[in-house]
Amino acid sequence: MRVWLLALMLVACVPEPSDPVSFGQLCSPPSDECRNDAVIYRDSVGRNQLDFTVSNVGDNTAFVSLQAFRPGESDVPIVTSELELSQGETAGQRWTPQELGVFSPLQIQLDCAGCEAQADFVLTSVPLECISDDDCGSGWFCDTNSPGRCVECRSDSECSLDQRCDIARGRCDPPDGEGTCQHAGGIPLVLTLMLIWPFLRRRRPALVLSCALVLTLPTSSDAAAPVASLGIGVGPQIMTGELGDLTQMGWGLGVSQELRWRYAGMRTAVGATYFLTNQNAPPFSKGLQSYFFQIGPRAFIPVGPVEIPIGVDYSRLGLASNTLVQITGIESGYNGLNVTTGVRFRWSGLEVRGDLEWQPYLNFPGQFIGARLSIALVPR
């Protein structure tokens, strides 16, 4: 049961989308407040992707050129976009990772001869495990046939003389007729692999998934210990404030564990919510995924056949694939509170939980309001 919960968390919470690295505006002709070029640095391992819009802010038809270079290495642009824009017209484009590659830093330059133009851009990084062999440990190699994957071998020459390279897996197979024998690792091995996998991926959700593993590990103690319960739930969530008009209602998944003694206890929870966005500015993707980790006290008030929980948690918010980066900024982590109440009904070893949540965060231009319906396993 708990392995199934972990698999469900992995499916719901590990995204493949790109993360914003930098954003800004270019102007031609340049001014003191707005340059016509920018040099962009990317610290993480990944491939570059640039979304941009170009606007004709002059009185005549504009012939605009936007180019990307490797600064200090060549005057030949990596990629060029040339646009013809009528007065007041705006056009948007995306330079893909296949065009921009993995170079860092990048220089982009806007030119509009005899006209006035502005460009808004967002550089995102499509995550990779590696770019070069130096990114892989233990003598492994970065696969050039399938970029971004660390492998033990890419050809037979990188294996021992009596071994062959399995190109699909990137592993050296043992000699024919031989193999290895090992005892089944069981659930602890599975959990260990799932724990280290997000870190190998170098993704920010790693912290959330790791906490999910900790929360779902079985615990035991001697007599007089608090009663532990494990729950999983889904529910809608909306954003308010400046982000409210740019996001649709999202849906989230959460896993929680409670330790309680009579009418008081503690709760920890992890989860993720996905929102569709409708912004016009770059980037052009239409999705935002948020992650949270929460911990805090609980009070339980019995009312007839049901119970009302009340709690205030510390909440850590993380953003991935943030398409609203021009409003929130590059920052991807925020601290705040989760104020919650709800109602519960217990039947045998199961408990049905309905919760309402309000989550304000420091320096975040919005708040979260949500509801969650959960099923929990509760010892009798």
Same domain, 358 and 265: yes
- For the cut 50, the answer to whether the pLDDT of residue 4 exceeds it is no
- For the cut 90, the answer to whether the pLDDT of residue 230 exceeds it is yes
- For the cut 60, the answer to whether the pLDDT of residue 246 exceeds it is yes
Asked whether 322 and 19 are in contact (CB, 8 A), the reply is: yes
Domain span including residue 144: 133-173
pLDDT digits (tens, 9 = 90+) for 346-375: 988 899 999 999 999 999 999 999 999 999
Number of compact structural domains in the chain: 3
- CA distances (Å), 238 to each of 92, 244, 277, 370, in order? 28, 7, 12, 6
Average pLDDT score over the chain: 82
pLDDT of amino acid 147: 60
Q: Residue 191: inside a domain, yes or no?
A: no
Q: Residue 137: inside a domain, yes or no?
A: yes
- 105: cis peptide before it, omega within 30°? yes
Same domain, 111 and 139: no
Q: Residue 105: inside a domain, yes or no?
A: yes
pLDDT digits (tens, 9 = 90+) for 108-151: 999 998 899 999 999 988 777 777 788 787 788 888 666 678 88
Q: Residue 241: inside a domain, yes or no?
A: yes
- For the cut 60, the answer to whether the pLDDT of residue 188 exceeds it is no
Same domain, 151 and 71: no
Same domain, 142 and 104: no
pLDDT of amino acid 145: 63
The share of the chain scoring above pLDDT 90, in percent, equals 50
Give the span between the Cα atoms of 92 and 81, in whole angstroms: 10
CATH classification of the domain holding 99: 2.60.120
Q: Residue 4: inside a domain, yes or no?
A: no
Q: 289 or 203, which is more confident? A: 289
The residues near 285 (Cβ < 8 Å, ≥ 6 apart) are 17, 18, 51, 321, 323
Same domain, 210 and 357: yes
Same domain, 158 and 266: no
pLDDT of amino acid 225: 55
pLDDT band, residue 178 (cuts 50/70/90): low
Same domain, 118 and 147: no
The share of the chain scoring above pLDDT 70, in percent, equals 81
Same domain, 45 and 168: no
pLDDT digits (tens, 9 = 90+) for 281-300: 888 888 899 999 999 999 99
Arithmetic mean of pLDDT, 29-58: 90
Q: Residue 1: inside a domain, yes or no?
A: no
- For the cut 80, the answer to whether the pLDDT of residue 97 exceeds it is yes
- For the cut 90, the answer to whether the pLDDT of residue 75 exceeds it is no
Q: How many CB atoms lie within 10 A of CB 107?
A: 18
Residues 79-90 as b/e (b if ≥16 CB within 10 A, e otherwise) read bebebebeeeee
- For the cut 50, the answer to whether the pLDDT of residue 184 exceeds it is no
Arithmetic mean of pLDDT, 230-248: 94
Q: Residue 5: inside a domain, yes or no?
A: no
Q: 22 or 177, which is more confident? A: 22
Q: Residue 53: inside a domain, yes or no?
A: yes
pLDDT of amino acid 267: 96
Same domain, 38 and 102: yes
Torsion, Cα 270 378 10 290, to 10 degrees, reads -30
pLDDT of amino acid 12: 42
Longest dimension (CA), the chain: 83
- For the cut 60, the answer to whether the pLDDT of residue 264 exceeds it is yes
Arithmetic mean of pLDDT, 331-360: 94
Same domain, 161 and 209: no
- For the cut 80, the answer to whether the pLDDT of residue 183 exceeds it is no
pLDDT band, residue 89 (cuts 50/70/90): very high
- For the cut 60, the answer to whether the pLDDT of residue 216 exceeds it is no
Same domain, 108 and 168: no
CATH classification of the domain holding 358: 2.40.160.20
Asked whether 241 and 359 are in contact (CB, 8 A), the reply is: no
- For the cut 90, the answer to whether the pLDDT of residue 19 exceeds it is no
Same domain, 314 and 169: no
- For the cut 70, the answer to whether the pLDDT of residue 194 exceeds it is no
DSSP state of 225: P
